[in-house]
Amino acid sequence: MLMNDHASKLHRRHATPGEGVRSTAGFGLPRNLLEKGRDRVKVMALLVLGGAGFSAVVRLALATASEGISRTELIGIAYAGIVAVVAALFYGAARAKRIEPVHILRVGLLFEVGLCFTISMGNVWQIYAAYGHLPFLTWATPIVIAFPLIIPSPPRVTLLTALAAGTSAPLSVLLLSRIGAVTAVSSDYMWVSISPVIAVAVAYVGSRVVYGFNVDIAEAQQIGSYHLQTLLGKGGMGEVWKATHRMLARPAAIKLLRPEILGVGDGITPEVALHRFEREAQATAMMQSPHTIQLYDFGMSDDGRFYCVMELLDGLDLQSLVKRFGPVPCERAVHLLRQVCASLAEAHRSGLIHRDIKPANVYVCCYGLDVDFVKVLDFGLVTYQRASTDASVRVTAEHTTQGTPAFMSPEQVLGDRPVQAVSDIYAVGCLAYWLLTGETVFSAKTATEMMIHHATTQPDPPSRRTDRTIPQELEDAILSCLEKDPSRRPASADGLSERLAAVPVVEAWSPERARRWWETHRPEAIRPAAV
């Protein structure tokens, strides 16, 4: 469990450069860079296919226009055709998703060697047949240089591959002389070897630069035991990335927090900020409600970024849900809101206040075989409800307004009363308003105007903002959450949940109805139901 080994997370992660990178499968690069390597292999195959195909077509057209096809032209057409066919097969293999990218890169190196031998044989034979002397330079030379610049591979592997490809020129001369196609003396082997030797040296140096650059990128994307893969979102507090564990198959979501969110730069040292973050992360990790996002890990990276590692969810937040599909039926709103209350009830009993309940922080997803399952996010930025003389209890920066203006309680706006559990209840009322109407409680042109409304303006009943019928019991519950006076709101999340459960609905939001909705709108997220 996280608490049993939290001591390892109190300090910054320090690793030998490349340690996290080299533990990944194949070529010492993480999977996302290997996938990019697959794309580069496809580009290289297309370039070779285009060049060889064009050469074959032009040669064939010129030969057809003349009186006949000479032996030299026939050799050139045959070799260009062979190269085009091999490149087409290689491109097809690179496109096959069932083939791991690391295997594609390995085959790419074999393709380089085979391509150089094919081209060298064709060039040497064709030039000798046309002019009676051996070529000083073949097309294998630029290919040896270009491959490591396009297809990433460790410098040692590049060197061995380049040496094998570079020997294609002298070896082609040797093979062709053995079958009597060319005549070569000792000095010919030296001359045809000069350009491959230069190409091997350039390829090795280029590989060190390109591969080193890829490793630097991979190390910059390493956070603790996790490797960042895809940027999922960016906001005022930081970034959220999809990530994978270096040793486990489990995917995760990593939130990178801006240091100033934790008070760094406001007279607070990174060490104190990390201590604050640690306390709240530990408290969050102790929560066991299935409707609270699971926290796997937390800490501060080598470059001073705070991060928390959470479970990766398959679904969409309530902001996106309503924007894409419109307001939800009353019975579904009750179903979703009660799950939010379940998460908050446990947090409040632990003395934790969320302070930023809003549609973007409530995720509805497919969770195992369950559908329409709610997860409350961003419990890494909570505050303690209980008064404390310990200044390190608060996570976020001092003298800042925390929360989202459209969902902030009057006491958060004015700062005249402590932020308590009922402050989250107010935000749940705003959330319910959004679910039923597709609009925020108040409309405003600026954040300041919005906060003034929350502090002073009485809200319209949600039934006035929608054509749908809203049960009076549900509307009363929402308006009670939106009371300006905290003492007049529901006293607890449990109490609000019970009140919502008593709302009469025409048809309950059953698991079957939920599954039908997901099968219609998000079928890719649905797992087969248990038999």
As annotated, the active-site residues are 356
| Positive/negative CA dihedral, 108, 113, 118, 119 | positive
Query: Measured between alpha carbons, how far is 346 from 9 in angstroms, rounded to an integer?
Result: 25
Biggest CA–CA distance in the chain, Å, is: 102
Query: Measured between alpha carbons, how far is 372 from 349 in angstroms, rounded to an integer?
Result: 25
Query: Cα separations (Å) of 217 from 21, 29, 151, 154, 301?
Result: 10, 10, 16, 15, 15
Burial class (CB in 10 A: 0-12, 13-18, 19+), 443: exposed
Query: Measured between alpha carbons, how far is 522 from 531 in angstroms, rounded to an integer?
Result: 21
Query: Cα separations (Å) of 61 from 71, 75, 130, 171?
Result: 15, 15, 18, 31
Decide if 206 contacts 142 (C-beta within 8 A).
no
Q: At what angle do helices 421-437 and 330-349 cross, to 10 degrees?
A: 160
Calculate Rg over the CA atoms of the chain: 33
Query: Cα separations (Å) of 35 from 30, 152, 206, 419?
Result: 9, 11, 21, 48
Q: What are the start-end ranges of the H helices in 371-446?
A: 410-414, 421-437
For residue 370, the surrounding DSSP H or E stretch is: strand 370-376
Two structure tokens written together for 367: 């969770």
Number of neighbours of residue 261 by Cβ within 10 angstroms: 20
Residue 153's Cα: distance from chain center in Å?
Answer: 23
Indicate the residue type of 87. Answer: A
Decide if 281 contacts 341 (C-beta within 8 A).
no
